[in-house]
């Protein structure tokens, strides 16, 4: 998954990852090779590998045959695993927006909905989960100036739909560091920015949101790193994932050493940023100036 591979704790992507991990453990416990497992379901060794990494959908018949091969004969355990198949094959809400949401970002949406904690560092814009509708529309229009208005509106709908996570019971916590330059960039004009700053002040009081601002002129780590997101999951089987968005694609990193570097970077960014209270004071100052 390190070069591209997640409703809280039960998102489709995470369910696939957990099911794949379970099948891998069962196979290894019986000493069955991926090649033999593939032969059992009339598939290739690489198909078994993709199943165990949660990168493909699952056929209930295939999983049932694999459970038999792996010696899982108890009705209770078989029923439990097969019910995971049906859950893992559910259609997530963003598939209705496949015309405006590229595949590489659909992967991120799966992780986002499954995360226990989402941590972000943003340089150019306010994070998508915190944007007002008007600000989101202005940002999207900047990046897709030739797109028809209908497409822009559908992309705005996706961004607003994502924000339900912040109000959902059992939803993720959000830790965010925003570069002050993003707050001073007049995206959409003064009125839009005023609305966005008011929104940030409201959200900054939420017990599930930790918002800090990296002040202008700081020449430490913030000058070296670009925007990134770090997603941590409640399920112990799932490694933390770093999301790095690029212009037309994204990278997903989960190798422990790589993730550790970003965890360390985030801690240093938070240490170098204004405290939560001083960040709110800055937001109020910017609101008065706008």
Q: Hey, where are the domains in the chain?
A: 12-88, 93-289
pLDDT in tens, the chain (290 residues): 443 333 333 477 788 888 999 999 999 999 999 999 999 999 999 999 999 988 888 999 999 999 999 999 999 999 999 999 998 888 889 999 999 999 889 989 989 988 999 999 999 999 999 999 999 999 999 988 899 999 999 999 999 999 999 989 889 999 999 999 999 999 999 999 999 999 999 999 999 999 999 999 776 555 467 899 999 998 887 889 999 998 889 999 989 999 999 999 999 999 999 999 999 999 999 999 98
pLDDT of residue 224: 65
Residue 31 CB coordination number (10 Å): 8
CA 107 to chain centre: 8
Residue 104 has which token pair?
């590489």
CATH architecture observed for domain 93-289 = 2-Layer Sandwich (3.30)
Contact 276, 197 (CB under 8 A): no
Query: Facing residues of 241 across strands?
Result: 231
CATH code given to domain 12-88: 1.10.260.40
pLDDT of residue 6: 34
**The pTM is what?**
0.83
pLDDT of residue 5: 38
pLDDT of residue 130: 98
**Contacts for 191 with CB less than 8 Å, ≥ 6 apart:** none
Residue 182 has which token pair?
């993003």
pLDDT of residue 221: 58
The Cα 47–Cα 38 span in angstroms is 7
The Cα 67–Cα 73 span in angstroms is 7
């Amino acid at each position: 998954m390190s070069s591209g591979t997640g409703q809280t704790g039960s998102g489709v992507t995470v369910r696939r990852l957990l099911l794949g991990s379970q099948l891998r453990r069962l196979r290894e416990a019986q000493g069955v090779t991926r090649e033999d497992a593939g032969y059992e379901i009339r598939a290739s060794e690489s198909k078994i590998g993709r199943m165990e990494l949660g990168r493909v959908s699952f056929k209930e018949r295939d999983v049932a045959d694999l459970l038999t091969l792996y010696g899982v004969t108890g009705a209770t355990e078989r029923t439990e695993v097969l019910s995971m198949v049906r859950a893992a094959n559910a259609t997530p809400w963003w598939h209705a927006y496949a015309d405006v949401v590229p595949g590489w970002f659909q992967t991120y949406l799966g992780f986002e909905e499954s995360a226990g904690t989402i941590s972000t560092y943003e340089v150019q814009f306010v994070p998508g989960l915190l944007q007002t509708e008007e600000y989101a529309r202005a940002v999207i229009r900047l990046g897709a100036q030739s797109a028809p208005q209908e497409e822009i509106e559908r992309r705005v709908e996706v961004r607003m739909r994502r924000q339900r996570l912040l109000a959902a019971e059992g939803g993720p916590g959000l830790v965010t560091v925003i570069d002050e330059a993003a707050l001073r960039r007049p995206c959409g004009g003064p009125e839009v920015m005023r609305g966005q700053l008011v929104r940030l002040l409201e959200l900054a009081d939420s017990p599930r949101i930790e918002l800090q601002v990296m002040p202008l002129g700081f020449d430490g780590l913030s000058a070296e790193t670009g925007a990134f997101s770090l997603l941590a999951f409640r399920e112990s089987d799932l490694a933390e994932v770093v999301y790095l968005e690029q212009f037309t694609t994204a990278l997903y990193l989960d190798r422990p050493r790589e993730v550790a570097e970003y965890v360390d970077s985030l801690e240093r960014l938070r240490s170098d940023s204004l405290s939560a209270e001083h960040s709110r004071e800055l937001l109020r100052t910017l609101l008065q100036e706008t």
